Structure 1
Amino acid sequence: MATAESFVRRLTRRLTEDPEQRDVEELTDEAVGTGAQRAIDCQRGQEVTMVGTLRSVETNAKGCAGGVRAELFDGTDTVTLVWLGQRRIAGIESGRALRVRGRLGTLENGTKAIYNPHYEIQT
Structure 2
Amino acid sequence: MKTATPIDSLAVREIGTVEGRIVSITVEPRDAAPQLTARIDDGTGRLDAVFMGRREIAGIEPGARVSVTGRVSETETSLCLYNPSFELR
TM-score (norm 1): 0.65
Give me the whole-angstrom Cα distance separating, in 1, the residues matched to 2:57 and 2:42: 21
Larger Rg: 1
Equivalence map 1:94-113=2 (5 Å): 94-107=62-75, 109-113=76-80
What amino acid does structure 1 have at the position aligned with 2:14? Q
Match of 2:81 among 85, 91, 114: 114
1:45 positional shift: 0.4
* 1:48 counterpart = 2:35: no
Give me the whole-angstrom Cα distance separating, in 1, the residues matched to 2:17 and 2:3: 8
Larger relative contact order (CA 8 Å, sep ≥ 6): 2
1:66 positional shift: 2.2
TM-score (norm 2): 0.88
Q: Could you tell me which residue of structure 1 aligns to residue 33 of structure 2?
A: 65
1:35 positional shift: 3.1
Q: Which has the higher strand share?
A: 2
Q: Give identity over the alignment, percent.
A: 29
- 1:58-82 CA deviation, whole Å, 9 max, x = no partner? 1116xx8321011000110100010
